């Protein structure tokens, strides 16, 4: 690469539709044009965390992320190096652990709940996108996802939402909303609306970041 990669930070709370937005966005680029670094792959193992009195772990705290390794790997990608790391298995002992090979690219996407809160990481971002949704919409999505995909009882989902998810969103993400270059409000479940937004952003990037590559 003949110039520094362009880093896009994509942040959004649980149930905002950030994952769908991200997948739509990535679809616009070739594999060698963009690379993704996800905060989820930097969780500290649950065995090293402190349980609450009810034996639950609170994963919605910045302290659950190995932010220094996260930062180090982003800097390696900025230098054009390849990063190798274990994929996080969400503490499933039966999961086959994959080794991720993350190659540098002209566009680097850094995504996660705390990427704007981690000052050293935020300082590296050239463009910040905030994906948001109304609280009730986000909660309904969370209940549906955790029930269908993970088999969690609604009672557990609601406990985590009110005691972990919502407080973390308000303290570690919401304060940075107005600092972002683009805010995407995602209250509908209409795929074409998000696809249209990612279309516009990708065209803009092709005319700027990728134009001379």
> Residues 131-176: pLDDT tens digits?
999 999 999 999 998 876 777 889 989 999 999 999 999 999 999 9
Give the DSSP H or E segment for 85. Answer: strand 83-86
Please give the domain boundaries of the chain with CATH numbers for all domains. Answer: 6-208 (3.40.50.300)
CA distance 70 to 58: 20
Q: Which has more confidence, 4 or 122?
A: 122
Q: Is 121 in contact with 71 (CB distance < 8 Å)?
A: yes
> Please, which pLDDT band fits residue 102 given cuts at 50, 70 and 90?
very high
| Predicted local distance difference test score (pLDDT) of residue 91 | 58
Position 1 pLDDT exceeds 60: no
| Predicted local distance difference test score (pLDDT) of residue 190 | 83
Position 125 pLDDT exceeds 80: yes
CA distance 26 to 31: 9
- Alpha carbon distances (Å) from 156 to 142, 161, 162, 170, 181: 11, 8, 10, 20, 35
Single out the residue of 68, 21, 65 nearest to residue 40, CA to CA: 65
| Predicted local distance difference test score (pLDDT) of residue 94 | 64
Q: Which has more confidence, 125 or 86?
A: 125
In this predicted structure, which of 62-76, 80-94, 97-111, 172-186 has the lowest mean pLDDT?
80-94
What integer best gives the mean pLDDT of the chain?
Answer: 89
* Burial class of residue 185, CB neighbours in 10 A (0-12, 13-18, 19+): middle
Position 177 pLDDT exceeds 90: yes
Percentage of residues in the chain with pLDDT exceeding 70?
Answer: 89
Q: Tens digits of per-residue pLDDT, 39-80?
A: 999 998 766 556 665 556 788 999 999 999 999 999 999 999
| Predicted local distance difference test score (pLDDT) of residue 124 | 98
CA dihedral 37, 39, 40, 44 (to 10 degrees): 120
| Predicted local distance difference test score (pLDDT) of residue 188 | 87
| Predicted local distance difference test score (pLDDT) of residue 86 | 83
Residue 23 dihedral angles phi and psi, to the nearest 5°: -65, -40
Single out the residue of 109, 93, 120 nearest to residue 202, CA to CA: 109
Q: Is 11 in contact with 62 (CB distance < 8 Å)?
A: no
Percentage of residues in the chain with pLDDT exceeding 90?
Answer: 69
Kindly state the average pLDDT of the residues 196-210: 89
């Amino acid at each position: 690469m003949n110039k520094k990669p362009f880093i896009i930070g994509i942040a959004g709370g649980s149930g905002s539709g950030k994952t769908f937005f991200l997948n739509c966005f990535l679809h616009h680029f070739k594999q060698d044009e963009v690379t993704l670094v996800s905060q989820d792959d930097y969780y500290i193992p649950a065995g090293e965390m402190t349980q609450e009195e009810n034996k639950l772990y609170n994963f919605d705290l910045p302290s659950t992320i190995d932010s220094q390794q996260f930062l180090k790997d982003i800097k390696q990608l900025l230098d054009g190096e390849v990063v190798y790391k274990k994929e996080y298995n969400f503490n499933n002992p039966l999961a086959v652990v994959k080794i991720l090979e993350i190659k540098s690219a002209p566009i680097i996407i850094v995504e996660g709940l705390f990427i704007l809160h981690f000052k050293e990481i935020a300082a590296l971002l050239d463009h910040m996108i905030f994906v948001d949704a109304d609280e009730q919409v986000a909660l309904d999505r969370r209940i549906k996802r955790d029930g269908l995909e993970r088999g969690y009882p609604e009672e557990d989902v609601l406990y985590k939402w009110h005691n972990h998810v919502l407080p973390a969103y308000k303290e570690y993400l919401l304060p940075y909303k107005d600092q972002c270059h683009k805010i995407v409000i995602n209250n509908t479940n209409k795929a074409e609306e998000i696809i249209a937004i990612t279309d516009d952003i990708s065209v803009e990037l092709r005319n700027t970041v990728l134009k001379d590559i």
